[in-house]
């Protein structure tokens, strides 16, 4: 009778060892997959925030440029034509005027978001009573790409209203904001 149970403990130990190894392998692979997903999620968020930060910095540039356009119109004949010409880069007597869209496209104007992985596209269109400013910020981190499109409306004050009491923030508002996929 003693000879019939020989090796049964060895089979039990091998069975328990294989269960422990299988469970450990599943736990380890789950942990590795979870780490990879968290890393990708972190990079996606960083890419999104960088694209959005570039849009925010572009907004500050736009405010400063609108203020310059107000000053330019005030020093001229205080007309909305001078204001819009300054914003659209149609002033012939202002040598340094590149236009708002070109200023926004120039990476050297950005203090924080002037990296190679961030690009800004800007277009400005004239409407009857306002200008439409379309800014697209793209950030690429390896294979992760985020694009944010922001559309602003820039109001055009009436003739004779261009003085230092106009606040540039009162002349611009967000019309549309989209995350492109």
Of the candidates 133, 129, 47, which has an alpha carbon nearest to the alpha carbon of residue 80? 129
**pLDDT: which is higher, 83 or 181:** 83
Model pLDDT for residues 27-50, shown as the tens digit of each residue:
999 999 999 999 999 999 999 999
Model pLDDT for residues 104-156, shown as the tens digit of each residue:
998 888 888 877 789 999 999 998 889 999 999 999 988 899 999 999 999 98
Q: Which two tokens stand for residue 22?
A: 């299988």
Q: Looking at the 3D structure of the chain, how many domains does it have?
A: 1
Say what percent of the chain tops pLDDT 90. 52
What does the alpha-carbon distance between residue 34 and residue 55 come to, in Å, rounded to a whole number?
Answer: 32
> Domain span at residue 117?
2-180
Q: What is the pTM of this model?
A: 0.80
């Amino acid at each position: 009778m003693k000879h019939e149970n020989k090796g049964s403990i060895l089979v039990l130990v091998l069975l328990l060892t294989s269960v422990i190894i299988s469970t450990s392998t599943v736990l380890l692979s789950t942990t590795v997959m979870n780490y990879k997903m968290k890393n990708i999620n972190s990079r996606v968020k960083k890419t999104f925030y960088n694209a959005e930060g570039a849009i925010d910095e572009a907004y500050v540039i736009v405010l400063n440029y609108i203020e310059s356009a107000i000053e330019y119109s005030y020093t001229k004949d205080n007309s909305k034509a001078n204001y819009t010409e300054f914003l659209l880069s149609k002033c012939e007597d202002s040598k340094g005027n590149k236009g708002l869209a070109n200023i926004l496209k120039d990476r050297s104007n950005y203090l924080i978001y002037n990296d190679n992985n961030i690009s800004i596209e800007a277009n400005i269109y004239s409407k009857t009573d306002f200008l439409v400013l379309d800014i697209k910020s793209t950030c690429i981190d390896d294979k992760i790409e985020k694009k944010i499109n922001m559309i602003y409306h820039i109001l055009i004050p009436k003739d004779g209203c261009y003085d230092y009491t106009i606040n540039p923030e009162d002349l611009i508002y967000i019309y549309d904001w989209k995350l492109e996929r």
